[in-house]
Structure formats: C-alpha cells, structure tokens
Amino acid sequence: MSNSTPSTQRPAQILVIDDEPDLRTLYELTLLREGYRVEAAGSVSEAWEHLEAGRFDAVITDMRLPDGQGMEIIHRIQKDQRSERCVVMTAYGSAENAVEALKAGAFDYLTKPVDLKQFRAVVASAVQARHAPQPAPKLAQAAPAVNNNVSSSDAVVATSSTGIAALDRLVGDSEPMRLVKSRIAKVARGMAPVLVRGESGTGKELVARAVHACSQRSDGPFVAVNCGAIPENLLEAEFFGAKKGSYTGSSQDRDGYFQAARGGTLFLDEIGDLPLAMQSKLLRAIQERSVRSIGSTQEDAVDVRIVSATHKDLHAEVQASRFRQDLFYRLNVIEIAVPALRERREDLPALCAALLSRIAQDGGLPVPHLSDDLLRRLAQHPLNGNVRELENLLHRAVALNDGDELHLDLMGGFTASVEAAASAPAPLSPAADAPAAVLAPLPITPVAPPKAAPPPLPSDLQAYLDQQEREILVRALHESGFNRTAAAARLGMSLRQIRYRIARLGITTPNGEDGPSSHADD
C-alpha cells in the first residue's frame, strides 16, 4: 500500500540519512512497505554522493552526523535550487534546531524517538508537496518584482481554484499587498508555522485561509480558534478534547481543535491573549505533534499545520513576561505582516467596489454607484479600524441610501458620539450666564416641584451600565483631545484601566493613540 504518488507515475524516491544503522534500517523498511524507493546514507559526504548521482522526492536527515550537520544538506539543497523536500530529525527537546531548520527551508521536522505513524504521514506530505503544481518561473522573483503589474491571480503558487479564490479575496494590487501575496505563495509550500501580524481589522484570518488554500493541505480542514474568546477553565478541553466523564457535564467523548484540524490547518487567532499556563501546554503539543485529551491515559499523534495571528507586539509581551519566549520562537518561524489600510490607500477603490458588491448581494440589492466624492471623503477619513471599519461605513451608507448615488455617513459610530458630547450644552453657571433680573430674589412663595415618576427599570442592566460608561469615556476622551493618559487622570483611573475599558466597550479613537508624544503608551 502506498500514498506516495499516483499509479501512473514512478514510485517516489526517498533518501534517508542517519548514522545509526539500526534506525536507518527501520526507516528504510517502513518506507519500503509504503511503496517508496529508498536509498540510505550514514554521513554528509555519503549523502552527497547519492544526491549528485540523481534526484529524490524527499530527503530525511538526522541533525547530527559524524562528519557534519544535517543543516549543511538543507543549505546546499537550497543553494543549488534542488527540488527535494527536506525533513529533519531532531533530538527530544531541541526546539531551536527544528526552528533553525524550518527557517533554512526544511519542509518539516520530526522529534526523536520518531513515531512511525507520524513519520509516514510527514513523508507522505513531503512527497505530495513535491508533486504539487509548481509556481510559474516569474513567481520565483515575485517579491523583488513588485513594481511589475502582477495581479493576484499571478501570485498563486497552487493552480487550484481554491488557492486562486483565497488570494483574490485579499483585494488590492498595491505594493504592500503584492508582497503579502508573494509571501503567502512561498510559505504555503512547507509545513513551517506562520505568524500573521497586523492591526485589528486588516484581514489576518483571510491571510491564514489563503496560506491553507494555497498549500497541499487545502483539501483538509481549516479550523479557526479565537484564543481570547474561550474561558480559561475550558481551554484545555477545547484544544485537546476530553473523554466521557472527565469533568462535570461531559456525557461523551469529544475532540478538541487539534483533532478536528487533522490533515489541515489550525488557525490560532489572537494568540497573544492565551494565558501563560495554556501557553506551556500548547508549546508541548506543537513540539511533540501529539495531544492528550482530558481523562485519557495516552497521547494521540496529530498532523496539523499551525498558523497564528495577533495584533499585539509579541516581542514586547515576551519582554513583559506575558508570553513565553520559547513559544514565540516556535510560532514565529515565518512571519507575514499585513499592512494597515493607511499604508495602502491606493487599494480603496477596489476594496470599496468588492465590499459594496458583497453587501448588495447579501441584501438582494443592486450595487450602488461609487462616486469620486465618496472615495475622496473615505481617503481623508482615518480608518483606524482598517478594512473592518471601512466595511461598517459602507454597510451604513447602503442602509441609509435613498437614491442612485451613495452618500457616506461619517456621523455614525464613534464620530456621532463625539459630536453629541461636543454639542451638549454645558451646565449653566448662575453667576456668569444668568441675566441680573433672574438672579434677584422674587417675592413669591416657593412651590415644591411635582414629584417626578421614577425612570423605568432597564431591561438589560449590563447593557445600560455599559452605555453610561461609554458616554462618559467618550466625553472624557473628547475633552482631553483623545489623550488617554489625561482622560484617565480626569476620571481617577490608571492608563491600563482606561485602555481596558476602551477595548471592552469597543470605543474607536480617531488616531488610535494617546497623542503625538504618547506612542509608548500604546
């Protein structure tokens, strides 16, 4: 039985490099049973004799060899632009070696002692990637040639319709977006973990989906997880699964995210929000490629590719001891930086057209006309919420549209709250504002005002309190020139407290910071 190549092709050829004869024989026999043709070497020099004599589909090499390092083989294969996919075998606990190999261009890694089931799965993935459609010749220079008019469809590493569609959803042909698409096309070919970094609303999940869709794992599941939305006491069960009866309410066995993503991609969104205790468990699962469900006595091997995303500065989080350094290095093997909308304003017309088309289609409406004036006004708007804020503005414009031409409502959301706070009349000061005639005492008997009926009780107390808090914060921010430090001081709070409340209540400030000289605070 073999899952290496279609029956119409020759059997895949594998080169195994290990200086321990018993292990070398074990790997050979395992691969021969899978239908591969196998050659073996016990040193770097012997390996190059085989490589110079012919081509292979995959090379599996130990890191430590008698006359050198497995890294030398990876570097030379990359330097000579050979097509072999390299899989490295590292000793238990040598995470740095695995990360170094992935950054050097290795397809994947295995941890010794090697689990044979996992060994077969990784080799099959490497062979499948080797026979997947390769990029057109000009794509090899996609990153340097960003000034050429390369469309999104030109930047597709896989010719499958899913890969093309996923890249087309990343709307825009600006230079920053071409770099992102080129990066996706390159990293999709391997198994190295990817960290997608960018501000909120820039489309980090779309980038992660494109990495999955352009890879050889596109037929497998794509499982997206918001790490900040899961209660801390449920994290382990959600990630690794649980056996029946392992905790109160578990009436049956259930899989976790790792099991659900087998053969595909696990997308860990907002990875910076994961508590430290869970970070250590996640690190072990990623390193060992296995997980243990709650209530289970054994570990299960899982074959997933990890793509994570965050809007936080993980370097700063590591320095502040809020994020594990070893996990950061394991996740940040390859980084894709998604540009903010202000860095690609030339994409606004295409983005607006695509968003309006989708909004109109969802609502069963004709696509409204996009005027030059509307585009001009959008270009002048801060759009600190990036594409998500742009979509909200267009949704509001379509909802309020009463003619053939679309009009932009910049008075909604935060702007409207600020305008309302600014236009609200200030309390009258009798000494300064009241006429003298009114200030003089009048010879009338005071009459008690009628007793006002108490206001109705709110049907949702938390929503009512949130609204009151939001209005106070918006007013304080407006009156302090959107300087969070000053607003916090006026309200008797610390900067950390006001930042927490702004984030919790979804308040968007015009410049997204505390002022021209307060970048360090954010």
pLDDT of residue 310: 95
Q: Write out pLDDT tens, residues 17-27.
A: 999 999 999 99
Lowest mean pLDDT among 104-108, 369-373, 382-386, 440-444: 440-444
User: In terms of pLDDT, which residue wins out, 193 or 420?
Assistant: 193
Lowest mean pLDDT among 88-97, 252-261, 286-295, 391-400: 88-97
Most confident residue range from 36-45, 380-389, 497-506:
36-45
* Residue 126 contacts residue 3 (beta carbons within 8 Å): no
% of the chain at pLDDT higher than 70: 79
Residue 252 has pLDDT above 90, yes or no: no
| Residue 143: band (very low, low, confident or very high) from pLDDT cuts 50, 70, 90 | very low
Residue 223 has pLDDT above 90, yes or no: yes
pLDDT of residue 196: 97
| Residue 416: band (very low, low, confident or very high) from pLDDT cuts 50, 70, 90 | very low
Q: Write out pLDDT tens, residues 417-432.
A: 333 334 444 443 433 3
**Coil, strand or helix: which one is 334?**
strand
Region 377-406: mean pLDDT is 85
pLDDT of residue 276: 94
Buried b (16+ CB within 10 A) or exposed e, 128-143: bbbebeebeeebeebe
pLDDT of residue 414: 39
H/E stretch holding 124: helix 116-131
HEC letters along 386-407: HHHHHHHHHHHHHHCCCCCECC
Task: For residue 219, give the DSSP letter.
Answer: T
Largest Cα–Cα distance in the chain? Answer: 115
Q: Which residues are 96's β-sheet partners?
A: none
Lowest mean pLDDT among 46-55, 81-90, 95-104, 415-424: 415-424
**What is the DSSP secondary-structure string of 253-279?**
-B--HHHHTTTSEEEEETGGGS-HHHH
pLDDT of residue 495: 85
| Residue 513: band (very low, low, confident or very high) from pLDDT cuts 50, 70, 90 | very low
Region 233-242: mean pLDDT is 92
Residue 403 has pLDDT above 80, yes or no: no
| Residue 288: band (very low, low, confident or very high) from pLDDT cuts 50, 70, 90 | confident
Q: Which two tokens stand for residue 70?
A: 């497995």
User: In terms of pLDDT, which residue wins out, 92 or 393?
Assistant: 393
Residue 8 has pLDDT above 60, yes or no: no
pLDDT of residue 10: 77
Region 385-392: mean pLDDT is 92
| Residue 2: band (very low, low, confident or very high) from pLDDT cuts 50, 70, 90 | very low
The overall average pLDDT reported for the chain is 80
Region 165-186: mean pLDDT is 92
% of the chain at pLDDT higher than 90: 41
Region 439-457: mean pLDDT is 55
Residue 152 has pLDDT above 70, yes or no: no
Residue 436 has pLDDT above 80, yes or no: no
Residue 331 has pLDDT above 50, yes or no: yes
Region 270-299: mean pLDDT is 91
Region 301-310: mean pLDDT is 93
Most confident residue range from 134-138, 250-254, 402-406:
250-254
The closest of 95, 1, 112 to 60, measured between CA atoms, is 112
CA distance 490 to 487: 5
User: In terms of pLDDT, which residue wins out, 503 or 203?
Assistant: 203
pLDDT of residue 419: 37
**Coil, strand or helix: which one is 287?**
helix
pLDDT of residue 457: 77
pLDDT of residue 158: 41
Strand 108-111 to strand 290-291: parallel, antiparallel, or no bridges (unpaired)? Answer: unpaired
pTM score, two decimals? Answer: 0.66
Buried b (16+ CB within 10 A) or exposed e, 361-380: eeeeeeebebeeebeeebee
pLDDT of residue 466: 79
Q: Which residues are 88's β-sheet partners?
A: 61, 109
CA distance 315 to 322: 10
| Residue 372: band (very low, low, confident or very high) from pLDDT cuts 50, 70, 90 | confident
**What is the DSSP secondary-structure string of 10-75?**
PPPEEEEE-S-HHHHHHHHHHHHHTT-EEEEESSHHHHHHHHHH---SEEEEESEETTEEHHHHHH
User: In terms of pLDDT, which residue wins out, 161 or 383?
Assistant: 383
CA distance 51 to 514: 59
The closest of 188, 263, 257 to 224, measured between CA atoms, is 257
| Residue 177: band (very low, low, confident or very high) from pLDDT cuts 50, 70, 90 | very high
* Residue 28 contacts residue 61 (beta carbons within 8 Å): no
pLDDT of residue 411: 56
Region 323-346: mean pLDDT is 93
pLDDT of residue 123: 92
Q: What share of the chain is helix, strand, coil (3-state, %, to 5)?
A: 45, 10, 40
Residue 43 has pLDDT above 70, yes or no: yes
pLDDT of residue 401: 78
Region 230-244: mean pLDDT is 91
pLDDT of residue 450: 56
Q: Domains of the chain (ranges plus CATH)?
A: 13-131 (3.40.50.2300), 137-244+253-337 (3.40.50.300), 341-410 (1.10.8.60)
Q: Which two tokens stand for residue 381?
A: 């708007």
| Residue 156: band (very low, low, confident or very high) from pLDDT cuts 50, 70, 90 | very low
pLDDT of residue 285: 92
